[in-house]
A = this chain, B = another copy of it.
Amino acid sequence: MDKVESSPALHHAWVSSASRRVRFALEEKEIGYQSILVDLLAFEQHTPEYLALNPNGWVPTLVHDGVPVVESSVICEYIDEILQGPPLVPHDPHERARMRVWAKWTDEVVIRAFQVANWNRMMAPVARTWTDDEVEQRLAAIPVPDRREDWRRMARQPFSKADIDHAISNVRRTLERMESDLAAGPWLAGANFSLADIHLSPYIVRIDEHVDRGVRLQDYPRCSDWWQRLSSRAAFARARIEPVTFKD
């Protein structure tokens, strides 16, 4: 496939982990992009204008050649296929499969685990201040039923200790799987830096939020070494993948 050098537009938020994955990929390609910020706390992701681009109502969305591309793991593969720059998908088909298994694991296990483990800390204090009318108004604008239920729960019935314990066990399981795969590294999919490493980065940058639950990156020596190498990449700094702080 011929690679083109054209400038996409990214609708994103600095603090959104999914947006961070896509920014990291774009920065590795050293491709300039138009940055369009979506104010998540003002719920701009639920406006009719944004929903026309992304019917799920979440960030990011990449618009390229006038067509929106959604879902961060799908956008990342799209970026690699269409834009010039260093490859982010391994050439070897077995490494490529490993990379995609990590994309799936991130999407299906890691996102949820961090969401549950962090939600009471980050969004619950905001959501608790809403009146019942405000809650219903917010929920009515959320197009995906499962996501709507999550928000209802956050606003009125925070995750239980059992939910959080389960989430933390999935965080540990992720670190264990990373440690195992990195034995055949030095990168998660094998010999080459790839989207697998990018997908995990916005979650591992926040791993210290779980120190008080006994999760410590230094207990996983290969993960620690991987994190040193990954976080010293120039593209990582440009993508602004930083720890998140909360008002207590």
Chain A interface (Cβ < 8 Å from any Cβ of B): 1, 65, 67, 69-71, 73-75, 77-78, 81-82, 91, 93-94, 96-97, 100-101, 104, 107-109, 145-146, 149, 166, 169-170, 173
Contact = CB atoms under 8 A, between A and B. Distances in A.
A10 B173 CA distance: 27
How many subunits of this chain does the assembly comprise? 2
Contacts of A1: 91, 93
A96 B67 CA distance: 13
Main secondary structure of the interface of A (DSSP, over half): helix
Contact of A71 (B65, B70, B101, B173): B101
B94 A69 contact: yes
A91 B2 CA distance: 11
Nearest to A102: B74
Given A65-B94, A77-B96, A145-B166, 9 more contacts: A73-B104, A74-B104, A75-B97, A78-B96, A82-B93, A145-B169, A145-B170, A146-B170, A149-B166
Given A107-B108, A108-B108, A145-B173, A74 B93 contact: no
